[in-house]
Amino acid sequence: MIEIKNLNKHFGQFHALKGISLRVKENEIYGFIGHNGAGKSTTMNIMAGLSHFEEGSCIINGQDVKELAKPGDLNVGFLPENPQFYPWMNATEYLLYCSKNPDKQKVKEIIAWAGLEQHASRKIKGFSRGMKQRLGLAVALINDPKLIILDEPSSALDPEGRSEVLRLMVELKNMGKTIIFSSHILSDIERICDRIGMIENGEIIFEKSLVSLLNENVKPIFDIEFKHMISTLQIERLMEHKDILKVEAKDNMLTVQLKQNDLDPKSLLESVLEFDVPILGFNLRKNNLESLFIKEGN
């Protein structure tokens, strides 16, 4: 669907994209992450056929963006970082204007989906930032594209709006579409993405499936909750266990770190059962994307 190879782009002397390669497969939701200024928007503008680059290649739906007569030929839905509209039009007029085959019923449906029903006939110049983002999303979908590129689709939305957008992205995937979106909201990425690419200073740091990214970084830490407090003596005995690196106690909880990722927790469980104190919880702590992102970025 998207195949980018060795892309290089400068803004004057500034080397913004330093040979990036990435691949978005058909019918996946791809999350594009990176700190401010990493190069996400620059890359996405190129994917949408709107920005020039010096070296490398960018193939979208089998089409080389360098060989396009005009960006509209790509048949992608694109939400730019700061969508611009004709402020004197209202939302309905603008969506009709953007439609390849103008259809009033379809525009009405998409306006309702975007949560803009109340504002359909208001001039866009009076729209709030979140309303403009909703309208931008509607514009990205109005021509029923197979590939959808969204640059921070939920950054200006309230929590309810954010959840709606995430739900919609999953619905679009179920309809057979392919989606790439950038976001700083890692919990959103974690909720819906199949694969993730991270860019830093114009270079791709990794590109992996969400599952393998999280699995590779599972920390061998168990949080064990007991019905009563565990005595110091019992904790000391537990620390003698050959697989255990560290034990921390707080109230009725023990946090136990194992020496290696792939150790079988069975013998740990057997050791804590010997305390003869009822166990209320025994959980392997999972890393979330937030902690990985902070680690990778530093």
Ligand X SMILES: Nc1ncnc2c1ncn2[C@@H]1O[C@H](COP(=O)(O)OP(=O)(O)OP(=O)(O)O)[C@@H](O)[C@H]1O
CB of 95 to Mg ion, least distance (A): 24
Residue number, 40 or 134, with CB nearest to ligand X: 40
**Whether the Cβ atoms of residue 178 and residue 76 lie closer than 8 Å to each other:** no
E strands along 53-146, which residues? Answer: 55-60, 63-64, 76-79
Q: In this structure, what DSSP letter does residue 55 have? A: E
Which residue has tokens 């999972």? 286
Rounded distance between C-alpha atoms, residue 273 and residue 134, angstroms: 54
At its nearest, how many Å lie between ligand X and the CB of residue 5? 18
- The CA distance from 244 to 254, in Å, is 12
The stretch near Mg ion (CB under 5 A) out of 36-44, 188-196, 234-242, 267-275 is 36-44
**Total residues binding Mg ion (CB under 5 A):** 3
Is 41 a binding residue for Mg ion by CB under 5 A? The answer is yes
Residue of 19, 56, 57, 81 interacting with Mg ion (CB under 5 A) = 81
Q: Which does 39 bind (CB under 5 to 8 A by kind): Mg ion, ligand X, none?
A: ligand X
Contact (Cβ atoms closer than 8 angstroms) between residue 137 and residue 181: no
Q: Which is nearer to Mg ion, 16 or 107 (CB)?
A: 16
Q: Which residues are near ligand X by CB under 6 A?
A: 11, 14, 16, 34, 36-42, 81
DSSP state of 66: G
Strand partners of residue 57: 5
Inter-residue contact 124 to 87 (CB < 8 Å) = yes
Minimal distance in Å, beta carbon 133 to ligand X? 14
Least distance from C-beta 38 to ligand X, angstroms? 4
Residue with Cβ nearer ligand X (41 or 178): 41
Binding site for Mg ion (CB under 5 A): 40-41, 81
